[in-house]
Structure 1
Amino acid sequence: MTKHRFCMMFRDNIETQVQEMILSYISNPNSLILCVSPANSDLATSDALKLAREVDPDGRRTLLVVSKLDLMDAGTDALEVLLGRVIPVRLGIIGVVNRSQHDLNTQKSLDDSCKDEQVFLQRHYPSLASRCGSRYLARTLSRLLMHHIRDCLPELKTRVTVLTAQYQSRLNSYGQPVEDHSATLLQIVTKFATDYCNTIEGTARHIQTSELCGGARICYIFHETFGRTLQSIDPLGGLTELDVLTAIRNATGPRPALFVPEVSFELLVKKQIKRLEEPSLRCVELVHEELQRIIQHCSAYSTQELLRFPKLHDSIVEVVTSLLRKRLPITNEMVHNLVAIELAYINTKHPDFTDAAQVSASVNSERQRHSLCLSLQIQMGVVFVLSSLSQAEAGDGGKRWKNEKMPSEEKGPVPGFGSPNKAVNLLDTAVPVSRKLSTREQRDCEVIQRLIKCYFLIVRKSIQDSVPKTVMHFLVNFVKEHLQSELVGQLYKQRLLQELLIESQETAQQRTEVAQMLEALKKASNIISEIRETHLW
């Protein structure tokens, strides 16, 4: 029952299968189409001509054979068709007379059949008899085939040569079956480490043109991304004049300061320097991400052998990722120490800081002179008041001062302090935000801001130079120098050799298919080489 059903399905689909099979041959532009159509049917509805026109609409490679000329209805002929006035084809139209069933039953020879065919053609188509018939068809097909081979042979030779080189290259990329596991593993690991380092140095064979990669991207991170970020940081960002004034006041204690205290400068400049730490650590993170991306770049473009051994590929990725992960906190700690070193000692004797210090000293000198003048004026005023009081006391015998009481001895509140039951809130020492700064306060703020900006620029320049050097030494160069030894130490173990060098099924199948195709191309090349051009004319 199952066999019968299969036969029925095959029989129902036979027309489609035959049509697809024919199209698979005649669609090839290097093929010649031999289109056979009976003369006793309508050629306009011929299935053979219909298929030929689909793949060869101009008829450049189609030869039409009109068969069964002897079976046409009485009073009709195929002269117009044979002359090419009905169906135009480039390779010609040839009419033939087929052998009948009676000829087959009586075992009529081919020579006798051809003679009878010629007799029929001379009688009904005398003008075309020499260009029709089975023998003429055989000679025409042989001639067309030879000329077609002669025309296509140079292109075929070139195509076979190119395909052979392509498939040979693909076969080489798949590699040969592994015989020495130790040597193969060591070779792959060494090649990967070399390609990884070359990608960083910019000497890799596969250089991308669509985006920056490897050492070029690291350079971009150092001098573009990190550099622009530091340059965009305002030395006085997040620091208002009231913040500066508050720091100055907190640094003077209970006594009003005659000079701008250095403690306030150090306090504020350290706060600004601390802002350089976050972009510095971000620079380390970006370089770490790029070193991680280089692993995939080498796997995809530089080391084709890794595609053969997926377990080895995963193990290499894991070892390199682990190495990068171990170096990341060490590098971060060193970058953190760079900022901590700048915070540990504010070097006001730095050569680039001399000008700002001189400005501050001049301002302080000016304030000192102003304070001395003010002090002299106060002293002179006190002397004048005391002398006046002495003269008044001498005049009235001191009775006025002896009879009067001090304000504290009188009843009632002391002037300026309010009632005894409602004291003033002495803890409210915040500086009003809307208050306008005095000339002295404005000058003090300007001095501190100028010193902060100058010293911040010095530190920023140092950080911008030292962070890339730190990242290169503790992360990039360390990985380059220890990558191969780390891979060999982690993977070059006898118990892992067999497991790591298990080839993927896809690669093995592709190698087999490519090898078979390469063998077929070599045979085709040998056949083409054996064809002598003298046989084609």
Structure 2
Amino acid sequence: MTIEEVSGETPPSTPPSSSTPSPSSSTTNAAPLGSSVIPIVNKLQDIFAQLGSQSTIALPQVVVVGSQSSGKSSVLEALVGRDFLPRGNDICTRRPLVLQLLQTKSRANGGSDDEWGEFRHLPETRFYDFSEIRREIEAETNRLVGENKGVADTQIRLKISSPNVLNITLVDLPGITKVPVGDQPSDIEARIRTMILSYIKQDTCLILAVTPANTDLANSDALQIASIVDPDGHRTIGVITKLDIMDKGTDARKLLLGNVVPLRLGYVGVVNRCQEDILLNRTVKEALLAEEKFFRSHPVYHGLADRLGVPQLAKKLNQILVQHIKVLLPDLKSRISNALVATAKEHQSYGELTESRAGQGALLLNFLSKYCEAYSSLLEGKSEEMSTSELSGGARIHYIFQSIFVKSLEEVDPCEDLTDDDIRTAIQNATGPRSALFVPDVPFEVLVRRQISRLLDPSLQCARFIFEELIKISHRCMMNELQRFPVLRKRMDEVIGDFLREGLEPSEAMIGDIIDMEMDYINTSHPNFIGGTKAVEAAMHQVKSSRIPHPVARPKQDTVEPDRTSSSTSQVKSRSFLGRQANGIVTDQGVVSADAEKAQPAANASDTRWGIPSIFRGGDTRAVTKDSLLNKPFSEAVEDMSHNLSMIYLKEPPAVLRPTETHSEQEAVEIQITKLLLRSYYDIVRKNIEDSVPKAIMHFLVNHTKRELHNVFIKKLYRENLFEEMLQEPDEIAVKRKRTQETLHVLQQAYRTLDELPLEADSVSAGMSKHQELLTSSKYSTSSSYSASPSTTRRSRRAGDQHQNGYGF
């Protein structure tokens, strides 16, 4: 086994006799790789550049990031094959440079070998001298950010057409710096990082992370900032520059193989022109020859042909960008289509300007008619802008009626604020000085009217809720369309507000009349009313079921009941003689003494009737007493009575009289009857109110507004002397109309541009297969430059297979 087979390397070989190519030269007649998709994307970039920072469509592109003096500009110049970028020891790239490389036909293919550049800010001006391109970049940069070291995020767009380039679009950004110099702000590093992140955070962006080989790759600024937005390395391509100035005894083989910091798209190593080469005016072509010589003279890099050299970098970028665009094109067209529809709708909402009085009148009439139609549609649930997240329009009115008004009334108990004592007091007050034999009607009517009157406030509140909902609906109508006429919007809001208030007044008056009608006539003949008979039966049943019987022992017949005896005694004691003086004469009424009462037989003790027989107990006693009184002189009789009788004085009645705390069974029945009658009739009235109040509100407020709103608008607003005032636009509306018109034009151009490119995968794949033949036969093939034997080529292929990614490389 040879040493070469053990080490996996081959000794350097003699370069082929063919002339050294430019990094992107091609001598075949086949179409170059990406000749269709990349120019289309370049054209889209030019189209969207018209919008500047207003563009929201992210296009596929390759963004070059790296630290200051990492060799970014040298890589770009090597890809172009010409020296055209500002150079120096300090920061050179101070504004984003969008570089579009467009391959043209060579003279051998019927074209021209001319190379030129075009700036977007200088249309139709071609720069054939690339030193003039450098001076124009410097002048345009200084024009915006000054001649010192300031930076800005405004792009410079440069298109270079040449037969010696591949179709690639790159964005060169300012290098990451640590210490501010010149007039740079103190936060220059944060600003540059923010600018870089604003580009690379888009999923459509490929990241070309440039890192010099003489620095630690693990501490690379470019890879670190790329990992923030692409942690898995799916869209990051690593470029390791300055391989020729590494310390002796070190190499970048492990870096290129991805053993240190893996990337799915891999690494490419290049050799840049040094500052001495620039000072000695060595051309880029000479630098490419020196790069080829370096890789051939360093065996450590043998077997890495697909990872070495600027030509290989150009090929890799072209292939990855084409495949990336192919993946993104369907979604890109969809996003442009959606943006086109949205912008067209916004532009339509701003309308067109009209100067004539007739045109203004027609425009105003059209607005008023559309507003009334939108108002009715929202109320009836026929609006095209129907919400799926919340109730709106007429659905909210129905919710207020059924779920707020009706449900609130159903939850009210008519007897919740009436105690049994309140009802008993009302019943006793209704009987006057007499005891009622039946439950009187007056307390029922008084109490039920009081409960009916409670329904007035929630009914009026319901009308107020509907009024507020109608105001909200009016504010939602034609919000975007009326933004252009704030005066008209204000006047319309005033008119509809006054009109709704006018409709609220008859609604509230009708609600008051409905409540008054219910209170004025208590219809106890209503078929759903419980009635007196059923109420009595139900009340008796409730009272009896609520009582708990207590067993009582029956006394013997020959014994005297203590309660009865005490009752008789108390009745005897409570009897009094109520005398009054009339012309100085006392009436002949009197009461017997206690001794006389005790002397009466037991049989007479049971006689408790009121009147003279009850006062003078027993016939003999009464006769004796009467005779003794008659036989005595008048003065003796009075004196005798004053000794035997004492006067009884009554307590003064209190200012407020209430029933006793305990009530009889009859009173309990009366209370239950009254409650049953109250609940029964209240339910009847409640259902009437639940039905009548929404009808009154719908008739006088909601439907009346729908029917008459257009006529009110015509009467109040359609006046010729008001046209100019109400149709006056604010300045920002005119600016928005102009901006949306420009955006609409750009999106239409972009959509037509995408129609030029077939989206079928077969078409793109077929084109790529054709381009592969071109690359293998052209001078892009690095195997003829850097490999010396077929074994090296086979090892290179195996190494490449081990690092294949989603793009097929």
- Structures share fold, TM-score greater than 0.5: yes
Relative to structure 1, is the Cα distance of residues 284 and 191 closer, same or farther in structure 2, using a 3 angstrom cutoff?
A: farther
Q: Which residue of the partner structure matches residue 62 of structure 1? A: 236
Distance 1:436-1:516 versus aligned 2 partners, 3 A rule: same
Q: Given the two structures, how large is their TM-score scaled by the length of structure 1?
A: 0.74
Establish whether residue 280 from structure 1 lines up as the match of residue 449 from structure 2: no
Report the CA distance between 1:322 and its aligned residue: 1.9
Verify the 8 A CA contact 1:288 1:324 in the aligned structure 2: no
1:484 and 2:663 aligned:
no
1:161 counterpart = 2:337: yes
Q: CA deviation at 1:443?
A: 6.5
Residue identity opposite 1:34 in structure 2: L
Could you tell me which residue of structure 1 aligns to residue 210 of structure 2? 36
Residue of structure 1 in register with 2:199 after alignment: 25
> Is residue 2:362 matched to residue 1:187?
no
CA-CA distance at 1:305 after TM superposition:
1.6
Q: Are the structure 2 counterparts of residues 488 and 424 from structure 1 closer, same or farther at C-alpha, using a change threshold of 3 Å?
A: same
Q: Deviations over 1:183-226 (max 9, x none)?
A: 33333333333333333333333444555444334334434433
> Do 1:32 and 1:62's aligned partners in 2 also have CA atoms closer than 8 Å?
yes
Distance in 2 between residues matched to 1:348 and 1:234, nearest whole Å = 20
Match of 2:701 in 1: 475
Structure 1 equivalent of residue 750 of structure 2: 524
Preserved CA contact (<8 Å) 1:63 1:91: yes
Q: Deviations over 1:430-458 (max 9, x none)?
A: 4533353485x667666666655554444
Contact 2:254 2:260 (C-alpha < 8 Å) held by counterparts: yes
Q: Render the CA deviation track for 1:69-118: whole Å, top value 9, x for unaligned.
A: 44444555444444544453343433333345565566555544434443
Give the secondary structure class of the aligned counterpart of 1:37.
strand
| Residues 280-429 of structure 1 aligned to structure 2 (within 5 Å) | 280-300=456-476, 303-351=479-527, 355-356=531-532, 418=647
1:48 aligns with 2:222: yes
The answer (yes or no) to whether the contact 1:206–1:302 under 8 Å persists in 2 is no
Q: 1:110 to 1:182 in 2, by over 3 A?
A: same
- Contact 1:63/1:92 (<8 A) preserved: yes
Give the direction of change, closer, same or farther, for the CA distance of 1:400–1:291 in structure 2 (3 Å limit). same
Report what 2:302 is aligned to.
127
CA positional deviation for 1:276: 2.0
- Give secondary structure in 1 for the equivalent of 2:268: strand
1:436 equivalent in alignment to 2:633: no
Equivalent residues of 1:245, 1:445 under 8 A apart: yes
Indicate conservation of the 8 Å contact 2:234/2:263, yes or no.
yes
Q: How well do the aligned residues superpose, as a CA RMSD in angstroms? A: 4.7
SS in 2 for 1:284: helix
Which of 203, 206, 219 is the matching residue for 2:382?
A: 203
1:494 aligns with 2:720: yes
Of Structure 1 and Structure 2, the greater helix share is in 1
Aligned AA for 1:324?
L
Tell me the distance in 2 between the aligned counterparts of 1:177 and 1:222.
44
| Residues 244-264 of structure 1: per-residue CA shift (max 9 Å, x gap) | 66656655666x477659xx5
**Structure 1 residues 516 and 355: alpha-carbon distance in aligned structure 2, compared to 1, 3 A threshold:** same
Partner of 2:183: 9
> Equivalents in 2 of 1:82, 1:436: separation in Å?
106
Opposite residue 660 of structure 2, the aligned amino acid is V
Q: C-alpha offsets along residues 436-488 of structure 1, whole Å, 9 cap, x if unaligned?
A: 3485x667666666655554444444333333322322223222222222233
Residues 332-341 or 220-229, more deviating: 220-229
Give the structure-2-normalised TM-score. Answer: 0.52
C-alpha contact 1:418 1:424 (8 A) present in aligned 2: no
C-alpha separation between the residues in 1 aligned to 2:411 and 2:237?
79
How many angstroms apart in 1 are the aligned matches of 2:653 and 2:242?
A: 128
> Unaligned 5+ residue runs, structure 2?
1-145, 151-180, 537-608, 614-618, 759-763, 772-809
Distance 1:28 1:488 in 2: 53
Aligned match of 1:462 in 675, 685, 688? Answer: 688
The structure having more radius of gyration, on CA atoms, is 2
Counterpart in 2 of 1:371? none
Is the CA contact 1:35–1:52 (under 8 Å) kept in the aligned structure 2? yes
Structure 2 Cα separation of the partners of residues 120 and 5 of structure 1 = 35
| Structure 1: 5+ residue stretches without partners | 361-381, 387-391
Counterpart residue number, 1:151: 327
Following the alignment from structure 1 to structure 2, what is the Cα–Cα distance between the partners of residues 163 and 335? 52
Q: 1:358 to 1:138 in 2, by over 3 A?
A: closer
Structure 1: which amino acid aligns with 2:715? G
Query: Cα offset for 1:283?
Result: 2.2
1:3–1:160 distance in 2 versus 1, CA, 3 Å: closer
Partner of 1:366: none
Which residues in structure 2 correspond to 1:235-274 (within 5 Å)? 235-236=414-415, 238=417, 256=434, 260=438, 265-266=441-442, 268-274=444-450
User: CA separation in 2, counterparts of 1:485 and 1:35?
Assistant: 69
User: Using the alignment, how far apart are the partners of 2:182 and 2:303 within structure 1?
Assistant: 46
Residues 270, 463 of structure 1: alpha-carbon distance in 2 compared, 3 angstrom cutoff: farther
Instruction: Write out per-residue CA displacement over residues 495-525 of structure 1, whole angstroms, 9 at most, x where no aligned residue.
Output: 3333333445555554444444443333333
**Equivalence for 1:364:** none
1:389 paired residue number: none
Quote the offset at 1:269 in angstroms.
0.8
Partner of 1:226: 405
Cα distance in 2 for residues equivalent to 1:103 and 1:427? 123
* Kept in 2: contact 1:122–1:129 (CA 8 A): no
Q: 2-side partners of 1:172 and 1:89: how far apart?
A: 48
Tell me the amino acid that sits aligned with residue 382 of structure 2.
T
Partner of 2:79: none
Deviation at 1:38? 3.4
Shift in CA distance, 4/104, structure 1 to aligned 2, threshold 3 Å: closer
- Alignment correspondent of 2:56: none
1:137 to 288, 310, 313: 313
Change (3 A) 1:425 1:307: same
1:60 partner letter: H
Please state whether the residue corresponding to 1:35 is helix, strand or coil: strand
Q: SS at 1:164's partner residue?
A: helix
- Judge conservation of contact 2:447–2:678 (CA < 8 Å) in 1: no
Q: Secondary structure at the match of 2:183?
A: helix
C-alpha separation in 2, matches of 1:353 and 1:92: 91
